[in-house]
């Protein structure tokens, strides 16, 4: 995902692994789509206002549509989809009221909906661009030395976090780099897996604040005790409280801040494993 829709965006740029606010990737995409529609609707609504044919309901809808995105708290997919549908219909009505061409490049293309089973597909038909003006995407594999990327293959990593979106995001990134990844929502669950499968992690990544007043350093020590090894470990945290940050730092483990950018995570693992060789 890539989301830059709120002030919590990583490095002031955007969250690319998981959203610190908890926003699912599909809602982030819908917000981008809705904002694009609202810009077009506002453009044609202004033309209708000049012509004296504007619908007052559009003013209220624009405010409500911006509110649902700017406040960044309503992650109800069905609710956002409803706004997307309304924006599309209102744009058609506003075009008719303003007497402008629906094909005007300043207006958003119509959004087509197709519902199959439990999911909905959105289609937007755009004019074909010029391939000669497109630039090739950067080769990100070249950003990481071979010596740093090769060690990740088959590296056994345990991720402990009680937020499933964070767990799943890190697991996806690490699996893409060839790691053997096990995720758990607590130290107890992790130890149960270790005992049942006779598996030993080579590295532990733990969230600092876990449920039941447990902390990441406590979880790490519990797993280390179970395998009877000082497994290299790091802590991630979304805390901004100075007290919590001091506690996490005082644990002595390397610290990463949420939202965890994939590149930062991989670099931290490279440093940690390199130090333990």
| pLDDT attached to residue 140 | 46
Classified by CATH at the fold level, domain 10-127 comes out as: Substrate Binding Domain Of Dnak; Chain:A; Domain 2 (1.20.1270)
Q: What are phi and psi of 199, to 5 degrees?
A: -115, 140
Encoded tokens for 256: 């990463």
Place of tokens 């979106």: 165
Strand-strand pairing, 180-184 and 119-124: unpaired
| pLDDT attached to residue 12 | 60
Contact predicate 43/106, CB 8 Å: yes
State the pTM of this model: 0.51
Encoded tokens for 176: 């893409």
Q: Which residues of 96-112 are buried (b: 16+ CB within 10 A; e: fewer)?
A: ebbebeeeeeebbbebe
Give me the CATH code for the 144-275 domain, please: 3.40.50.2300
DSSP alpha helices (H): ranges in the chain?
A: 25-51, 56-70, 77-98, 146-150, 164-176, 187-197, 216-227, 242-250, 262-275
Query: Furthest-apart CA pair in the chain: how many Å?
Result: 78
**What is the distance between the alpha carbons of residues 58 and 101, in angstroms, rounded to a whole number?**
19
Separation in Å, CA 125 to CA 31, 109, 113, 121, 251 = 18, 7, 12, 13, 53
**What is the distance between the alpha carbons of residues 99 and 63, in angstroms, rounded to a whole number?**
23
| pLDDT attached to residue 115 | 54
- Who's near 85: CB < 8 A, 6+ residues apart? 111, 113
Contact predicate 15/1, CB 8 Å: yes
Q: Is 230 helix (H, G, I), strand (E, B) or coil?
A: coil
All structural domains of the chain with their residue ranges: 10-127, 144-275
Encoded tokens for 117: 């089973």
| pLDDT attached to residue 147 | 46
User: Tens digits of per-residue pLDDT, 28-45?
Assistant: 888 888 888 888 888 888
- For the four alpha carbons of 199, 203, 206 and 212, in that order, the dihedral sign comes to positive
Encoded tokens for 122: 């959105």
| pLDDT attached to residue 135 | 58
| pLDDT attached to residue 121 | 61
Which segments of the chain have a pLDDT < 70?
Answer: 1-2, 5-14, 16-21, 102-151, 275-277
Contact predicate 208/260, CB 8 Å: no
């Amino acid at each position: 995902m890539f989301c830059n829709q709120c002030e919590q965006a990583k490095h002031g740029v955007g969250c690319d692994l998981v959203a610190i606010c908890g926003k699912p990737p599909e809602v982030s995409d819908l917000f981008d789509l809705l904002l694009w529609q609202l810009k077009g609707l506002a453009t044609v609504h202004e033309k209708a206002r000049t012509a004296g044919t504007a619908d007052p309901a559009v003013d209220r809808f624009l405010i409500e549509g911006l509110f649902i995105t700017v406040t960044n708290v309503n992650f109800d997919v069905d609710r956002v989809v409803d706004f997307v549908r309304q924006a599309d219909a209102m744009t058609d009505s506003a075009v008719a009221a303003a007497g402008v061409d629906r094909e005007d490049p300043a207006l958003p293309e119509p959004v087509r909906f197709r519902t199959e089973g439990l999911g909905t597909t959105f289609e937007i038909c755009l004019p074909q661009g010029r391939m000669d003006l497109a630039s090739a995407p950067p080769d990100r594999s070249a950003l990481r030395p071979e010596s740093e990327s090769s060690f990740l293959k088959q590296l056994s990593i345990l991720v402990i976090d009680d937020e499933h979106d964070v767990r799943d995001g890190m697991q996806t990134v690490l699996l893409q780099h060839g790691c053997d990844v096990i995720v758990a929502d607590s130290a107890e669950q992790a130890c149960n897996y270790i005992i049942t499968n006779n598996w030993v992690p080579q590295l532990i990544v733990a969230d600092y604040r876990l449920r039941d007043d447990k902390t990441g350093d406590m979880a790490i020590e519990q797993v280390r005790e179970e395998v009877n090894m000082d497994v290299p470990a790091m802590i991630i945290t979304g805390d901004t409280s100075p007290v919590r940050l001091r506690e996490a730092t005082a644990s002595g483990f390397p610290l990463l801040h949420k939202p965890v950018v994939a590149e930062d995570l991989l670099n931290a693992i490279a440093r940690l494993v390199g130090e333990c060789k």
